[in-house]
Amino acid sequence: MCLCSTIHTAHTGDTIQRRVKDEDGHWVLWEISVPPAVKEFNRCMGGVDLSDALITYYKVIHKTQKWYFMDIAIVKAFLLYKVITKGKGQVPMHQKAFRETLVEELSAAATVDRPAPSPTPHRAHHKPVHISGDSTTGRLRCRHCHAKTPVKCSSCDVPLCFLPSRDCL
């Protein structure tokens, strides 16, 4: 880690304890000297480390910036929830339970009683689909006019013409 600071002195003789493995493979505490800038950084950045740790537990699959910000907002809301519930003397729920509750509450708030959609006409289910990307290969004979066509019905799987001059669909 490299830090440059004009506020802090170069070295004040401060030390911190770190666990280090010795030659035998046992963990021992060592006193390590630390510059004041690093000590101040570690003191102030505890919340960022906690936030990063909490995000890694339940990471969103989408790696876009929008979903990252959504994840950050959820973690910050969870941290705020923990502070508030501990202040009230209650036991806060775990992050997974918090996320599940958040999803349930947001989805319940978003539900609106809507009338049932009107039934779609029969023709709406029959949509033209190209048989292949090439217009000359993969053509079949139209079931209605027997001309070669690269289009078929998506629901019936029947080759039909779908041209301005011949519309057999």
In this predicted model, what pLDDT tens digit does every residue of 66-98 receive, in sequence order?
A: 788 888 888 889 989 999 999 999 999 998 899
Q: How confident is the model at residue 137 (pLDDT cuts 50, 70, 90)?
A: low
Q: What angle do CA 163, 167, 169 make, to 5 degrees?
A: 115
> In the structure encoding, which two tokens stand for residue 69, read together?
């910000």
CA distance 146 to 160: 9
Q: Residue 62 has what pLDDT?
A: 60
Q: How many CA atoms lie within 13 A of 137 on its CB side?
A: 3
Tell me if residue 138 falls in helix, strand or coil: coil
Taking CA atoms, 48 is separated from 16, 17, 20, 30, 53, in Å, by 20, 21, 24, 26, 9
Weakest-pLDDT range from 96-100, 111-115, 157-161: 111-115
pTM of the model: 0.41
Q: How confident is the model at residue 120 (pLDDT cuts 50, 70, 90)?
A: low
Q: Which helix (H) or strand (E) holds 20?
A: strand 15-21
Domain boundaries, the chain: 9-44, 46-102, 127-169
> In the structure encoding, which two tokens stand for residue 43, read together?
């003191």
Mean pLDDT across 109-127: 68
Q: Residue 152 has what pLDDT?
A: 82
Model confidence at 116: pLDDT above 60: yes
Mean pLDDT across 53-73: 73
Model confidence at 6: pLDDT above 70: yes
Q: Which helix (H) or strand (E) holds 105?
A: helix 95-110
CA distance 2 to 69: 28
